[in-house]
Amino acid sequence: MRPISYTRAGTLEAAVKAFTAAGADARYLAGGTTLYDLMKLGVERPAHLIDLTGIAGLNIIETDGDVLRFGALALMGDVAYTPAVHEGYPVLSESLLKAASQQLRNMATVGGNLLQRTRCMYFRNGAGSTSTVGVYPCNRRQPGSGCAAIGGLDRGHAVLGASDACTAVSPGDWPVALMAMDATIELFGPGGARSIPIAEFYRLPSDTPHLQFNVDPAELITAITVPKTPGRASTYHKIRDRESFAFALASAAVAVEMDGATVRTARIALGGVATVPWRAQPAEDMVRGKTLTPELALEAGRAAFRGARPGQHNAFKMDLGARVIADALMIAAERRS
Ligand SMILES: Cc1cc2nc3c(=O)[nH]c(=O)nc-3n(C[C@H](O)[C@H](O)[C@H](O)COP(=O)(O)OP(=O)(O)OC[C@H]3O[C@@H](n4cnc5c(N)ncnc54)[C@H](O)[C@@H]3O)c2cc1C
């Protein structure tokens, strides 16, 4: 048995102080739905847990100001069902409601969702795994050990943003929606408060796939803000092996401003197909200023996958992803007021 110390912090300052004092083996704890899972698998082996749930104000949901503001500890379910979010920003609400299960959404936080690790089975095959074939190499879990997914079972893996060191997919739905909505992440750490656009939050795997986020380990997420965008219609469209309680094979978050049938602006992000939440700018460029038809929407979807690098078993994601973008564009455009 490995001893683990536990601290319930009452303030942001106390949390950061406890983390800094504990060193590299510390982890912040929110809902625990990912962290405990990975601890049981032996992938995460923290010696110190710093529980954030005692910090007042971190679970706020504000919709009255200039921006939508979600405290990092706001629950996925609570954010999804907030009327102003559910009605005015369906892309946000749908990305949360199509994730996990209601039980998980009642426990899991919107901040923890941003920091979840990949569901790649080779990554999750840690020292606590019950696999009979031993622990697979994984550069993300153990830098320099190799990547069993390359040349292995890669049906669920990335076709965009992969490197020779890692092809694991970024699993979250919510970050994909935040990418389409230009969200900003607010942080607090040893150097004080700062914020970072969601587009700069995630790192491509390159040759350092173990470094997933552009955040100092001692920094904690305090809030997520989303600009208000009246006039934008949106949707989150997710295709998975079963219609509930499954991660995306391909998903698209789309937010459009329409002028009749003409697309004035489009923001499109992809999930389930890339190593990070993926902005599909070529698809956006293809529809901007044009009359939206199903044919143009599919052409835009295909443009998003130019340059994609499929592995052995995941080439189907290029066609699936293109069709998901096309459908999402048509759904969002239909919703224009
Ligand atoms: C069976 C199952 C199915 C799922 N399906 C989906 C799905 O379809 N789509 C999807 O998007 N997600 C899915 N999830 C993932 C789920 O959404 C995440 O587990 C959840 O959002 C994580 O939030 P949490 O509060 O429980 O985080 P925790 O488990 O507490 O923490 C997760 C990570 O974030 C860190 N952390 C947490 N909060 C902060 C903070 N404020 N500041 C700094 N670090 C922090 C922790 O140290 C840890 O590393 C699924 C999970 C399970 C178990």
* Per-domain residue ranges of the chain: 5-54, 234-334
Q: How far apart are CA 156 and CA 138, in angstroms?
A: 16
Nearest atom in ligand 1 to the alpha carbon of residue 105 is 17
Whether domain 5-54 has CATH 3.30.43.10: yes
User: What is the distance in A from the centroid of ligand 1 to the CA of 307?
Assistant: 31
Whether domain 234-334 has CATH 3.30.390.50: yes
Nearest atom in ligand 1 to the alpha carbon of residue 246 is 8
Ligand 1: residues with CB < 6 A are: 27-35, 37, 52, 72, 76, 99-100, 104, 108-109, 111-113, 115-116, 171-174, 220-221, 247
Distances in Å between the Cα of 284 and the Cα atoms of 91, 259, 263, 281 are: 16, 16, 10, 5
Residue 292 in tokens:
């939206």
Q: How far apart are CA 144 and CA 159, in angstroms?
A: 22
pLDDT in tens, the chain (337 residues): 889 999 999 999 999 999 999 988 999 999 999 999 999 999 999 999 999 999 999 999 999 999 999 999 999 999 999 999 999 999 999 999 999 999 999 999 999 999 999 999 999 987 776 666 568 999 999 999 999 999 999 999 999 999 999 999 999 999 999 999 999 999 999 999 999 999 999 999 999 999 999 999 999 999 999 999 988 999 999 999 998 899 999 999 999 999 999 999 999 999 999 999 999 999 999 999 999 999 999 999 999 999 999 999 999 999 999 999 999 999 999 998 6
